Structure 1
Amino acid sequence: MLKNFAARLKSRIASEKGSVLLMVALGMVVLLGCASLVTDVGLLYTSRNRLINAADAAALAGAQELPDKPEMAEAVAREYAKANGVIEDNLEVEVSADRKSITVKPCQNVRFLFARVLGFTEQEVNAEATALTAPLTGAIGVVPFSIEEQVLKIGKQYVLKEGSGGPAVEGADGKMSGWYGAL
């Protein structure tokens, strides 16, 4: 019986019947793998870029409200994330304890197109962006147009320019407003 089975197997392999079917099946798996690599990995890449852009926009918008209004900063960040296609349930927004930074973490489940045939259905994509408020510590190429002539005293605060000489309007808070031109 075993001899008979071995003989039949040997003749089957030698006859090459059905080998085209096997080659086509293997070729289809390779073709689907390549299609999956191109489309599904491209879909993941595109989704991640969209999430990064949404997180950046939301963090920068929320940081405009810091440090004075942390609740408003979170609300604005959520609004901007939603406007950029992030679902509310997939969004985490956190204002730091010192109220100087805001972190936005969106995520999204991306459903595959061709990889489903190979057993992969979806993948979670994450992004994170943090924006903070800080004073300007330096700038390159910014030069004042005029400085009052006076003796320099270290540690004293100096007024570089006050008004433009043109019309200015005093506001309700007592501050002058108007176009002062360049620094």
Structure 2
Amino acid sequence: MEKLKNLLKNENGNVLVLVSLAFTGLIALTGLVIDGGQLYMTKSHLQKTANAAVLSGAQELTNTEAKVTSVVDEILTRHNETGAKERLDISMNHRVGIELKKPVPLFFSSIFGVESVDVRVTAGARLGAMGRGTGAAPLGIDESISLEYGKIYELKVDQSGIEAGTNFGILALAGTGARTYKDTLLNGYQQELKVGDIVETQTGNVAGPTREAVDVLVNTCSSPLARDCPRALLVVVYKPHKHEQNQLKQVEVRGFAYFYLTERMRHNDSTVKGMFIKRADSGFEDLIAADRGAYSIRLTE
């Protein structure tokens, strides 16, 4: 009987040890979950911040390096991560990259002398020639033109279609007719255009509707560097496709360019005056698209 009592006492002691070990393991596991969760959430937040910073900064890669830096810093401030910037690499007209670092205080690991861990993330975004996009104006330029950015060009809008051999022309993106043309010039073509699409040229004299639309557009913003500026028109870069009686009836989309309207059209004026600019905006890259200064942005890491 005495031996049985001693055995039961020993088993009670074993259970107490096992419970203590299990409780210690549970605390350790809970601590690891808390620390791991904190590290995961911090890294996720930093990565989203880094992605937003380079995507926004890349919009200014055709502007100035100072503007890229300013936009990146603005995004970091909005996400309360101003002090996290470890490195910023800018290659104008090409790419922007960033590295963020943030120390994360630990709960459980601090028991073992590990007070914090540095979380690091990187992100990059680059420009690519736009090959698909929406919002195009019903104006086009021949892909054979080698553009001089900042130079004033005059696009004629008084011809019936596009005469063979000319460098500029008006397009019937949303259909024919002066009213449709004017609406498309004001608001852009709302369907997607892409490299390889065949579009019709616009026939008839549209100088009047062009003048009315240009008068509205030139008052929308005052600088070609302004974001979302309606007077910076996305125009089609085309390749002649179908000729008929010395008229170019159809063109093939080869890429896109941005044409900034510099002034109103005078009474009875038959040309649109403006300059071609480099600009990064929404759209999609195509490796075979003609590079005429219209760029889309994509994350690279």
Same fold (TM over 0.5): yes
31, 36, 43: which one aligns with 1:48? 43
Identity over aligned pairs, percent: 21
- CA separation of 1:136 and 1:112: change in aligned 2, threshold 3 A: same
67, 70, 77: which one aligns with 1:72? 67
Whole-angstrom distance in 2 between the partners of 1:146 and 1:78: 37
TM superposition shift of 1:81: 1.1
Aligned to 2:105: 111
TM superposition shift of 1:112: 1.7
Whole-angstrom distance in 2 between the partners of 1:95 and 1:118: 41
Matched, 1:102 2:96: yes
Matched, 1:174 2:174: no
126, 138, 160: which one aligns with 2:171? 160
Whole-angstrom distance in 2 between the partners of 1:44 and 1:29: 22
Higher helix share: 1
- CA separation of 1:43 and 1:175: change in aligned 2, threshold 3 A: farther
Whole-angstrom distance in 2 between the partners of 1:99 and 1:136: 13
TM superposition shift of 1:40: 1.8
TM superposition shift of 1:67: 2.5
- TM-score, structure 2 as length reference: 0.44
The answer to whether the Cα contact below 8 Å between 2:162 and 2:169 also exists between their aligned partners in 1 is no
Aligned to 1:134: 128
Kindly name which structure, 1 or 2, has the bigger radius of gyration based on alpha carbons.
1
More deviation, 84-93/165-174: 165-174
Aligned to 2:244: none
TM superposition shift of 1:160: 2.4
TM superposition shift of 1:51: 0.3
TM superposition shift of 1:25: 3.2
TM superposition shift of 1:23: 2.2
Aligned to 1:3: none
2:52 partner amino acid: A
Q: What runs of 5+ residues in structure 1 fail to find an aligned partner?
A: 1-10, 178-183
Aligned to 1:33: 28
Whole-angstrom distance in 1 between the partners of 2:48 and 2:67: 21
1:168 partner amino acid: V
- CA separation of 1:89 and 1:44: change in aligned 2, threshold 3 A: closer
TM superposition shift of 1:116: 2.8
More deviation, 44-53/21-30: 21-30
* Local SS of the residue matching 2:110: coil
Aligned to 1:125: 119
TM superposition shift of 1:89: 5.3
TM superposition shift of 1:22: 2.8
TM superposition shift of 1:115: 3.3
TM superposition shift of 1:21: 4.4
